[in-house]
Amino acid sequence: MEQRITTKAQELFFRYGLKSVTMDDIAAALGVSKKTIYQYYSDKDSLVAAVVQQEINNDQIECSKHSTESENAVHEVFLAIDMMQEMFSTMNPAIIFEMEKYHPNAFQKMNDHKNIFIYKIIKANLEKGMVEGYYRTDIDPDILAKFRIESIFFAFNPELFPPNKYTLLQVEMILMEHFLYGICTPKGEKLIIKYKKQREKNNQL
């Protein structure tokens, strides 16, 4: 039951944002009483933290898999793009700012994941691509890993990218491609074109 609650809460939070979804909404969506939810979660704050932890766990599994299963550094980024496409196509962009304002413990948990795990994954990818000859050797992996992380998250800023004008997925894809072209060698750019064509072909199926 606990897993069902967390999964349903994640679905509703992603779709409608954190602020507008109540414990009553989650109970109704599950077809259970609110009392049942409180047997597992003392309040909404603890439920949000559980949803964030579930997302962190899933993200760590997927990113580690991409790192080991990818053909090269550029391919690893495209595997991440596929994961992002699935996630961001259903995510309400207000969720990060609402988490920071109303659920600081969950926000801190996410920040730690971002600044430790995601940083290590991106930095390792940059170093791998430099060795392979697909990324320029004059880049600074430390600085660019931090830049890339922040660029992922400022796409959620509604003042920069109002939801009525941009979709989160649209912004993230453009920023990702811009970043990739900026670090690639001509050899790496050929791989970008190759994997883009593969994605377009797969999306048409």
Residue boundaries of the structural domains of the chain: 48-204
Cβ(67)–Cβ(46) below 8 Å? no
> Would the pLDDT of 57 be above 70?
yes
Q: Flag whether pLDDT at 90 surpasses 90.
A: no
Report the topology of domain 48-204.
Tetracycline Repressor; domain 2 (1.10.357)
* 154-182 pLDDT per residue, tens: 888 888 888 889 888 888 889 989 999 99
What's the mean per-residue pLDDT of the chain?
A: 90
Give 186-189's long-range contacts (Cβ < 8 A, gap of 24+).
187/133, 187/134, 188/73, 188/74, 188/129, 188/133, 188/134, 188/135
pLDDT of 28 over the 80 cut:
yes
Q: Evaluate if residue 85 carries a pLDDT over 80.
A: no
| Residue 76: per-residue pLDDT | 93
Mean pLDDT for the stretch of residues 67-78: 91
* pLDDT tens-digit map of 123-165: 999 999 999 999 999 999 999 999 999 988 888 888 888 888 9
3-state secondary structure of 186: helix
Contacts within 8 Å (CB) and 24+ apart, 166-171:
168/88, 168/91, 168/93, 169/84, 169/85, 169/88, 169/89
